[in-house]
Amino acid sequence: MVDHYGQPWFTKSMKKSDFEKQKNASLSHQLIKAGRLINKRGLAAAQKSFHLPELKQSHLDLFPYIDFAGTGISEIAKRKGVSKQSVSKLVKEMVHMKILFLKVDPEDNRSKRVFFKTSGSFAIQKGLKDLMSFDCLLKAHFGEKSYTSVLKKVSDIVDIFQAENQN
């Protein structure tokens, strides 16, 4: 029995020597751990590749909510479940870092659509390579077939959760 945070739970009868055995016994726990480590690595890689020491997790957290086709600030805020004011600040910083750019919506002059900046001085291609490198490493370790199988299973887990969170 292991909790979700890295340390085995225990009962009074549980001996200390059971620790190591149980350490890796929980998939939930290992998934949390893997996620954190990858996240940490991803942030470090992004900072290094883009030469943007100011890039923070909070900025990266915005990525999933920005569409290829451009997204309004209010829309991003709604999707993320936070106020548009806080999104506005983060976006401003990312525009400054040349990760994003803004363009007034011709359909609605109030709305500024947010876009990824894919050219210019912000060399997204180089950063991309680094960000991808861990997946390559995993593929090399597991082999293409095994990689795909684990991916499928982890994806199922994500689906289970997302279904569960619908309520």
Partner DNA sequence: ATAGTGATCAACCATGGTTTACTAAAAACA
Partner DNA sequence: TGTTTTTAGTAAACCATGGTTGATCACTAT
Q: E-strand spans in the chain? A: 71-72, 100-104, 112-116
| Strand extents, DSSP E, 37-135 | 71-72, 100-104, 112-116
Q: What is each CA distance from 64 to 18, 67, 109, 154, in whole angstroms? A: 41, 8, 25, 19
- In the complex, least distance from residue 69 CB atom to DNA, rounded to whole angstroms: 14
List the one residue from 33, 111, 124, 147 that touches DNA (CB under 7 A): 111
Residue window 20-59: x/- pattern of binding to DNA, with contact defined by CB under 7 A: ------------------------------------xxx-
Question: Closest Cα to residue 55, out of 105, 96, 116, 115?
Answer: 96
Residue ranges in contact with its own copies by CB under 8 A: 1, 3-12, 14, 16, 19, 24-28, 30-39, 41-42, 60-61, 63-66, 68-69, 116, 118-119, 124-125, 128, 131-132, 134-135, 137-138, 141-142, 146-147, 150-151, 153-158, 160-162, 164-165
The interface partner of residue 102, options being DNA, its own copies, none and the CB cut-off 5 to 8 Å by kind, is: DNA
Residue 94 in contact with residue 62, Cβ under 8 Å? yes
Would you count residue 66 as binding DNA (CB under 7 A)? no
Stretch that binds DNA, among 11-19, 34-42, 90-98, 124-132 (CB under 7 A): 90-98
Instruction: Count CA atoms within 13 Å of residue 100 on its CB side.
Output: 29
The answer to the question of residue 2 lying near DNA (CB under 7 A) is: no
Residue 117's CB is within 10 A of a number of other CB atoms, namely 15
CA-based Rg of the chain, rounded to a whole angstrom?
20
Site residues for DNA per CB under 7 A: 56-58, 61, 72-75, 81-86, 88-92, 102, 108-113
